[in-house]
């Protein structure tokens, strides 16, 4: 957690964020998400229960010195009022409200189990709003090939390696840019990934990935020599020999999408993760449990979203029905 962020928190919230980061191993992005959700909630509580403000301008409300009693003396009604506020005033969707509820549950569970300040958790009976789970956006097989062909035509071994790994391994963008040379075991054809919550997993590299890596490494090593750098742990390097950033990967992808005529579909590096998972399931016949392991999902329910069927599969299923040819005979009245 950034020192600036810590200074803006009451001690109890600060302790929770440190706990999630250091003990639970949450990523900085996840901790920041907790901070944003919970600081907004605490500003709302202070504005309505302590300062009794009629017009809520929460940006002006400071929670640095908010006392533990105020934080702990929160009822389920207070939480419902907050959820109504973020819905009606801030326009939060059901998905966003569900995330805020998750943050509140984790925070008050921490207070109840890791401190002696609160005996009853006010979020125990708090339900998560229902929301329709949308299907993932992904590239079709033909689009994937067209995209990789556009990268191949540019003859840039680094870029081709980036998108070959993303489309074949289903890794997250953060996992890709976090790769170090020491994560590869070319003899065993394995790659170690550091996923969410600092959880490690091992994935296997297919022929395309091995070839792309082998083509890129000499270019990478020459880049180090040109910059008089003896060693660098990062696998993917920028032109300045620094670790490639996620933002740069997004920019590179945008360029090749345009070349392939796919730039108006909303595709992002994360959509390539969806693509890899979908293609493995639809064309590779990958078992859902194996897919869960490859993607590094904690819950199988997260992986099950990839079991959606493509339109041609739905059509094939309809045509394959044993009653598909049972039609009214021409002689019937």
Question: In angstroms, rounded to a whole number, what is the distance separating the alpha carbons of residues 53 and 44?
Answer: 10
- Bridge partners, residue 204, by sequence: 190
Contacts of 1 by beta carbon, 8 Å cutoff, 6+ apart: 14, 17, 18, 21, 28, 31, 35
**90 has catalytic annotation:** no
Question: 6 and 72 in contact (C-beta within 8 Å)?
Answer: no
- Bridge partners, residue 93, by sequence: none
Q: How many CA atoms lie within 13 A of 235 on its CB side?
A: 26
Secondary structure of residue 191 in the 3-state scheme: strand
Question: In angstroms, rounded to a whole number, what is the distance separating the alpha carbons of residues 196 and 218?
Answer: 31
What token pair was written down for 118? 């609160």
**273 has catalytic annotation:** yes
Which entry of 270, 271, 293, 308 is annotated as an active-site residue?
270
Question: 28 and 21 in contact (C-beta within 8 Å)?
Answer: yes
What token pair was written down for 60? 């002006």
Cβ-count burial 118-145 (b if 16+ within 10 Å, e if not): beebbbeeeeeeeeeeeeeebbeeebbe
Question: 34 and 103 in contact (C-beta within 8 Å)?
Answer: yes
For the chain, report the end-to-end CA distance as a whole number of angstroms: 78
**243 has catalytic annotation:** no
202 secondary structure, DSSP code: E
Question: 265 and 254 in contact (C-beta within 8 Å)?
Answer: no
Phi, psi for residue 185 in degrees, rounded to 5: -125, 90
**227 has catalytic annotation:** no
Question: 291 and 276 in contact (C-beta within 8 Å)?
Answer: no
Which entry of 8, 49, 192, 196 is annotated as an active-site residue?
196
Which entry of 46, 97, 273, 274 is annotated as an active-site residue?
273
**297 has catalytic annotation:** yes
Which entry of 35, 256, 281, 306 is annotated as an active-site residue?
306
**274 has catalytic annotation:** no
Which entry of 46, 158, 172, 274 is annotated as an active-site residue?
172
Mode of pairing for the β-strands spanning 184-185 and 190-194: antiparallel
Which entry of 46, 220, 274, 297 is annotated as an active-site residue?
297
Q: Which residues are catalytic?
A: 172, 196, 270, 273, 297, 306
């Amino acid at each position: 957690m950034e020192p600036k962020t810590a200074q803006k928190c009451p001690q109890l919230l600060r302790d929770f964020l440190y706990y999630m980061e250091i003990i639970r191993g949450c990523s900085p992005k996840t901790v920041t998400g907790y901070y944003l959700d919970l600081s907004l909630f605490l500003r709302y509580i202070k504005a309505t229960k302590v300062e009794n403000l009629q017009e809520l301008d929460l940006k002006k409300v400071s929670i640095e010195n908010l006392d533990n009693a105020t934080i702990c003396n929160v009822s389920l009604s207070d939480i419902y009022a907050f959820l109504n506020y973020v819905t009606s005033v801030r326009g939060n969707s059901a998905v966003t409200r569900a995330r805020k509820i998750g943050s509140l549950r984790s925070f008050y569970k921490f207070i109840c189990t890791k401190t002696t300040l609160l005996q009853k958790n006010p979020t125990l009976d708090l339900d998560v709003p229902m929301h329709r789970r949308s299907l993932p956006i992904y590239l079709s097989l033909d689009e994937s090939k067209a995209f990789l062909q556009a990268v191949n035509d540019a003859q840039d071994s680094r870029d081709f390696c980036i998108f070959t790994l993303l489309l074949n391994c289903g890794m997250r963008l953060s996992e890709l840019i976090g790769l170090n040379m020491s994560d590869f075991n070319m003899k065993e054809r394995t790659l170690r990934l550091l996923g969410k919550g600092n959880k490690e997993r091992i994935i296997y590299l297919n022929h395309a990935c091995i070839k792309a890596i082998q083509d890129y490494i000499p270019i990478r090593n020459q880049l180090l020599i040109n910059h008089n750098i003896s060693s660098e742990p990062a696998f993917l390097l920028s032109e300045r020999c620094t670790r490639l950033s996620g933002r740069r990967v997004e920019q590179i992808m945008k360029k090749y999408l345009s070349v392939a005529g796919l730039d108006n579909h909303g595709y992002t590096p994360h959509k390539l993760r969806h693509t890899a998972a979908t293609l493995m399931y639809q064309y590779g016949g990958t078992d859902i449990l194996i897919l869960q392991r490859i993607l590094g999902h904690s819950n199988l329910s997260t992986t099950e979203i990839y079991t959606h069927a493509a339109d041609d599969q739905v059509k094939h299923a309809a045509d394959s029905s044993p009653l598909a040819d049972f039609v009214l005979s021409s002689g019937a009245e």
